Chains A and B, each alone.
Chain A
């Protein structure tokens, strides 16, 4: 009988087939056909995953399907797909989110030309196939194949608007930074292979746990570095906010369930190896919680909804990395599932609200959402509540509470981490609710002043209708998941074979208060003019018109005093300087701690200078190393041939010739032309001959 696990092969196949058909395009497909193919490819994996999940939840959850086996040398490389609780859960999540996003994109991208549409959906399908392949991989080679293919697709997808230089630059940035991290992962995986002499995860992970000490540490660190890069954790985070230059469905797919979350999944997958090293575990926890806090703080000060959500992804994946670092990869997977739902929901809802707005995706474009796009707005509120972790009624609370409890239960060190994570949770609620509240403000004036007959106005009119089913269905499904998914968190964790961590009542109660504290903060940032102006002013450097008195006293004043105290500043107060300081902090945060600038100075600029110098743009010669032997050869030739150039033989012959000439000149003197000279010569010659004749007859 055929094993049901053979279905695994079918999971990534539909999107791959859709990619091939759209990419090779043998039939010159029309718009409708493109959309149908894309939809089939995008939705089918979910329905293939369902029976597999049924088998898995039924208890028979350890299936390996060999793809093919490669024997070379003394090694045997067996490629396989693997069905276990982790791959089932994550695969199901990815398939579901992928299906929703592609469904949504059918309507969202309907303005694009056929050629662009085909390229877009081909790449989206390939991306989905790559992620599913990676999730279901049963060996490191298939795993890395999916991992890298995602990176490649992300380059093409982020740079989808090929005419926009910043989109292309963002694509390159994402690809180069993740590829840099991938080099670590590749090194780690190859070392694992050499160590265990197998690429199969089911062989390798137990073998990896029994390696020699230093090898083990190196491999664990390499894997961690790979995960941090892919997951846009500090200090690799800079590519993710830039990547928002891609279309919204791309952001929704790449930055919720796939791509960035892949790093967290990888850590969970290899957790037996990574987590048997206490040092690596501590590093992972530190990077995780640090990134979570940093991402949340930065998100608060964004003025663009998509960038806000980008920093939110950075922060939320920080929670997952933290959970792995705390030795609870099951909790990380739980948060992975929930985060995938609410983050894709937020992207999709925000995309729907701001679609076609002349304000782009800036926060102001959210205004009036409740009236224009009620479904999307409600969906956004649901997603934001889940992100903020409103207790009990949202899924986000359950998964985040599990992470917090895992931290609390890890001892005194864990309580410090819990405290930081708790503050992060408050910040999370602040930025989660900011767009929600912003949407309640009146729409900016010039929006309604767009003249009729203007293409933009037409577009707005077109978009103002209630969204089609392609948009509504994903929003409703994902919103339901984000709210009610909480009931799944505990079963997921126990299904993966771990206890659900429970914290004592006090920290749990405190954590439950965090969203409300955040809501107050968000309200302050939105409705208090001085603070709203400070956030806004950080971006366009305009002085606010009026500083609100109370917040000047209670929030800004203490901060200024703190700064003055820290910097030992005893000069008299200066209003401009104070404002400058306030703005500087916000700008520093809103630009991701300016890591871009740091990279620019430390990596990009030196690299470019080196390349320019090597290619002869900076005074140096072109290709100095290559031209060195040529120059050397020429110099040598000159040194050897130079002396020979005055050829000694030649000189001998020439000198001889000169001598001959001289003899000839002398001989010419005899030729006087006078007969008496010749007669004298004759006489002398005859006399000489006579003398010789006489001499010969001497005897």
Chain B
């Protein structure tokens, strides 16, 4: 474990890239976008190099240095396969979001900065093992996302942004309180998650602290009944914002739940996990049912996110190997497929000015490439074998059969309902005759780039599961049997 700075760079590069993008607009047309892409691409290269250097088995890379020693604050950054996979997702979706907002000229410097800062903060979440720093990044994430919705959003954007902020900030307080308690309750003040994990915390306290953590994670995930912010935020956000919300912010909730409860509060987690599964089972059906009833295409996809993330929650709370692995795979898979659907609907909205399912239609005839792209991610949304989404859901179901067959059956039912909403979306958008939307111009090369990237990712991880599952192995085993850090 040298004193490398690669993980720090993964956070700081997007952050300073964002600051650079803020001012780059003065030096040339689209300079801020190129700066953003360069920063993210550089970070991606660093990440890949980190993957290639041999780690110590459990961690691919590990960094630790003091920040504010008097407060017991350190910077502990550690990356294993789970964080690594999510970092790939975050950087890739960052690039995608920069590309899809290419045409937005209004405050474009700030827009790119907000995108990059969202990426930087979520990278911090995925890497931090000092709980206070984790909580810091957790709250930091909200600011650029709030900006994205409220400045560049559609429709009733201020209200949606406020709803997003209030839900998440309030829930974040639970996390913060639990973190402060954990930090202060030991002999020395420390927020080091590995040290905290060693402590013997009484069972009742564990449950209370876990509720604090879970509040933040479950709202971010989100699982019904805590999901009310999501449809509004997704619908009113600009396309890039929806992509980052679905692809990144939701995953931070799942990541937190995957990482910390089993590590810090194993007994408390065992007590609460069945309730988590109940919530997840309920959410997987509820989200799917509501997706069937939406008329706004973006809202429909937003509710499918609720359903899929509820399945992730179920997998994590299942606590057996298969379900945890499935949850991990589903997190990554959903990040790609949901962002791609948001991208497509955003592109459609740019052309037609509507997302109303009753007014769209006829893409098959007027825009065959558009239709084909929809078909690919339509298959992913309904978990067709061969997509990573199927892998994730099948693994969760397998795990659920080991835990309790009722939860497995409920997940299967939600899979069936997913066909109903997916075919409905497809019928209304791709089939039929163009209604008010008229003839739609086909996808341009700039739009095809990200789409192809996301399609390849979805199919690659589905067809060669070893890529993703091998990376997740360490984190899954750790969540099964909590182990101390190095």
Q: Does A440 contact B (CB under 8 A)?
A: no
Query: Contact: B225 with A626, CB < 8 Å?
Result: yes
Contacting chain B: which of A141-149, A263-271, A484-492, A575-583?
A141-149
| Other-chain residue from A68, A191, A627 in contact with B228 (beta carbon distance below 8 A) | A627
Instruction: Kindly supply a per-residue 1/0 record for chain A positions 625-653, scoring 1 wherever the CB is within 8 Å of any chain B CB and 0 otherwise.
Output: 11111100000000000000000000000
Q: Is A612 an interface residue (CB 8 A)?
A: yes
Contact with A along B348-370 (1 / 0, CB 8 A): 00000000000000101100100
Shortest distance from the beta carbon of A638 to any chain B beta carbon, whole Å: 16
**Residue numbers in B under 8 Å from A628 (CB-CB):** 225
Chain B nearest Cβ from A312, distance in angstroms: 27
Return chain B residues, CB-CB under 8 Å to A119. Answer: 364, 368
Establish whether residues A611 and B231, one from each chain, have CB atoms under 8 Å apart when the complex forms: no
Contacts of A162 in B (CB 8 A): 362, 364-365, 430-432
Partner of B432, one of A168, A180, A610: A168
Are B225 and A625 in touch, CB under 8 angstroms? Answer: yes
Interface residues of A in 349-364 (CB under 8 A from B): none
Q: Which residues of B contact A68 (CB under 8 A)?
A: 464, 466
A145 CA / B466 CA spacing, docked (Å): 17
Complex Cα gap A628–B372 (Å): 39
State the Cβ distance, A322 to closest chain B Cβ, in Å: 28
Q: Are B225 and A629 in contact (CB under 8 A)?
A: yes
Contact of A615 among B293, B419, B423 (CB under 8 A): B293
Is the beta-carbon distance between B432 and A629 smaller than 8 angstroms? no
Asked if B250 is an interface residue, CB under 8 A from chain A, the answer is no
* B433 x A630 contact (CB < 8 A): no
Contact A183 B432 (CB under 8 A): no
Provide the B407-435 mask, 1 if CB < 8 A to any CB of A, else 0. 01100110110011001100100111100
The digit string for A179-190, where 1 denotes a CB below 8 A from any CB of B, is 110010011001
Of residues 13 to 44 in B, which have CB atoms within 8 Å of A's CB atoms? none
The answer to whether residues A194 and B289 also contact, given A152-B384, A629-B225 and a CB cut-off of 8 A, is no
Instruction: Output the nearest chain A residue to B464 by Cβ-Cβ distance.
Output: A68
* CB-based contact A187/B469 at 8 Å: no
Contact pattern, A 58-86, Cβ under 8 Å of B = 1, otherwise 0 = 00000000001011111000000000000
Judge whether A217 is part of the interface by a CB distance below 8 angstroms. no
Tell me the complex Cα distance, A70–B419, Å: 28
B402: nearest residue on chain A (CB-CB)? A194
Q: Is B386 an interface residue (CB 8 A)?
A: yes
Asked if A414 CB lies within 8 Å of chain B CBs, one says no
Q: Return the chain A residue nearest B390 by Cβ.
A: A148
Could you say which interface size class chain B belongs to?
Answer: 35 or more
Q: Are A614 and B473 in contact (CB under 8 A)?
A: no
Contact residues in A for B401 (Cβ distance below 8 Å): 187, 190-191, 194
Cβ–Cβ < 8 Å partners of B476 in chain A: 73
> Dominant SS at the B interface?
helix
| C-alpha spacing A675/B430, complex, angstroms | 98
Complex Cα gap A607–B290 (Å): 11
Question: CA–CA, A627 to B423, complex, Å?
Answer: 27
Contact among B228, B415, B427 with A183 in the assembled complex (CB-CB below 8 Å): B415
How large, as a class, is the contact surface on chain A? 35 or more
Given known contacts A190-B401, A629-B226, is B368 in contact with A115 (CB within 8 Å)? yes
> Which residues of chain A are within 8 angstroms of B321 by Cβ–Cβ distance?
73-74
Residues of B within 8 Å of A159, CB to CB, are: 427, 431
Contact present for A148 and B384 (CB under 8 Å): yes
A163 and B433 form a contact (CB under 8 A): yes
Beta-carbon contact of A70 and B228 below 8 Å: no
User: Which residues on the A side are within 8 Å of B289 (C-beta)?
Assistant: 610-611, 614
User: What's the minimum C-beta distance from B385 to chain A, rounded to whole angstroms?
Assistant: 4
Q: How far is the CA of A165 from the CA of B433 in the complex (A)?
A: 10
B72 proximal to A (CB < 8 A): no
CA distance A691 to B325 in the complex (A): 98
Asked if A156 CB lies within 8 Å of chain B CBs, one says yes
Contacts of A614 in B (CB 8 A): 286, 289-290, 293
A23 to B398, CA, bound (A): 33
Question: Is B423 within 8 A of A172, CB to CB?
Answer: yes
The yes or no answer to A557 lying at the interface (CB within 8 A) is no
In the assembled complex, the CB of A606 is this many whole angstroms from the nearest CB of chain B, namely: 12
Check A72 against B423 for contact (C-beta < 8 Å): no
Contact B379 A152 (CB under 8 A): yes
Let me know if A176 is at the binding interface, CB within 8 A.
Answer: yes
- For residue B375, CB closer than 8 A to chain A, the reply is yes
A8–B375 alpha-carbon span in the complex (Å): 29
Residues of A within 8 Å of B413, CB to CB, are 183
Residue numbers in B under 8 Å from A163 (CB-CB): 365, 431-433
Q: Which residues on A are within 8 Å of B, measured CB to CB?
A: 23, 68, 70-74, 115, 119, 141, 144-145, 148-149, 152, 155-156, 159, 162-163, 165, 168, 171-172, 175-176, 179-180, 183, 186-187, 190-191, 193-194, 607, 610-612, 614-615, 617, 623, 625-630
Could you show 12 A-B contacts with beta carbons less than 8 Å apart? A74-B321, A145-B386, A155-B423, A163-B432, A186-B412, A187-B409, A190-B398, A193-B398, A610-B289, A611-B289, A612-B293, A617-B293
4 other A-B residue contacts (CB within 8 Å) besides A159-B427, A162-B362, A623-B290: A72-B470, A73-B473, A162-B430, A175-B419
